[in-house]
Amino acid sequence: MITTNPFDDDKLREECGIFGVSGAETASAMVALGLHALQHRGQEAAGITSWDGHDFHTHRAMGHVAGNFDRDEVIRGLPGDTACGHVRYSTTGETSLRNVQPLYAELNSGGFAVAHNGNISNAMKVRRELIRRGSIFQSTSDTEVIIHLVATSNYRTLLDKFIDALKQIEGAYSLIVMTPEGMIACRDPLGIRPLVMGKLGDSIIFASETVALDVVGADYVRSIDPGELVIVTKDGEMRSIRPFGEVHPRPCIFEHVYFSRPDSIIDNSSVYSVRKAIGAQLAIENPVEADYVIPVPDSGVPAAIGYAQESGIPFELGIIRSHYIGRTFIQPGDKVRHLGVKLKHNANRALIQGKRIVLIDDSIVRGTTSLKIVQMMREAGAAEVHMRIASPPTKHSCFYGVDTPERTKLLAHKLDIGGMQDFIHADSLAFISIDGLYKALGEAKRADIRPQYCDACFTGDYPTKLTDQDEAVVENQFELLAERVS
Over the stretch 438-447, which tens digit does the pLDDT of each residue have?
Answer: 999 999 999 9
* pLDDT recorded at residue 401: 84
**Residue 51 is assigned to a structural domain of this protein:** yes
Burial (CB count <10 Å: 0-12, 13-18, 19+), residue 174:
buried
Q: Does residue 403 or residue 459 have the better pLDDT?
A: 459
Q: Are residues 313 and 429 in the same domain?
A: yes
* pLDDT value at 482 more than 50: no
Q: Report d(CA 18, CA 8) in Å as an integer.
A: 22
* pLDDT recorded at residue 4: 39
Q: What is the DSSP letter of 300?
A: T
422 backbone dihedrals φ, ψ, rounded to 5°? -65, -40
* pLDDT value at 2 more than 90: no
* pLDDT recorded at residue 92: 54
* 16 in active site: yes
**Residue 296 is assigned to a structural domain of this protein:** yes
Q: Are residues 141 and 176 in the same domain?
A: yes
pLDDT-above-70 percentage for the chain? 89
**Residue 472 is assigned to a structural domain of this protein:** no
For the chain, the domain total comes to 2
Q: Are residues 292 and 431 in the same domain?
A: yes
* pLDDT recorded at residue 325: 60
Instruction: Show the domain range for 247.
Output: 2-251
Q: Are residues 140 and 288 in the same domain?
A: no
Q: Are residues 144 and 193 in the same domain?
A: yes
Q: What is the CATH number of the domain that holds 118?
A: 3.60.20.10
293-317 confidence digits (pLDDT tens)? 999 998 899 999 999 999 999 999 9
Q: What is the DSSP letter of 408?
A: G
Q: Are residues 238 and 384 in the same domain?
A: no
Ranges of beta strands (E only) in 258-301 are 265-266, 269-270, 292-295
Among residues 413, 457, 15, the alpha carbon closest in space to that of 193 is found at 15
Report CA torsion sign: 367, 372, 377, 378.
positive
Q: Are residues 320 and 389 in the same domain?
A: yes
- Lowest-pLDDT choice from 156-165, 219-228, 315-324: 315-324
pTM of this structure: 0.91
Segment 144-163 shows an average pLDDT of 96
Give me the torsion for CA of 18, 23, 28, 32, rounded to 10°.
-50
- Lowest-pLDDT choice from 19-28, 91-100, 171-180: 91-100
- Lowest-pLDDT choice from 312-326, 444-458, 472-486: 472-486
**Residue 475 is assigned to a structural domain of this protein:** no
Q: Report d(CA 191, CA 188) in Å as an integer.
A: 5
> Longest C-alpha distance within the chain, in Å?
73
Q: Report d(CA 279, CA 183) in Å as an integer.
A: 40
- What stretches of 314-465 show up as alpha helix (H) in DSSP? 334-337, 341-344, 349-352, 368-379, 411-414, 417-424, 434-440, 456-459
Q: Are residues 367 and 235 in the same domain?
A: no
* pLDDT recorded at residue 96: 78
* pLDDT recorded at residue 5: 43
Active-site hit among 16, 84, 454, 457: 16
> What is the pLDDT of the chain when averaged over all its residues?
90
Strands 384-389 and 356-361: parallel
Segment 414-421 shows an average pLDDT of 97
Q: Report d(CA 311, CA 163) in Å as an integer.
A: 51
* pLDDT recorded at residue 321: 85
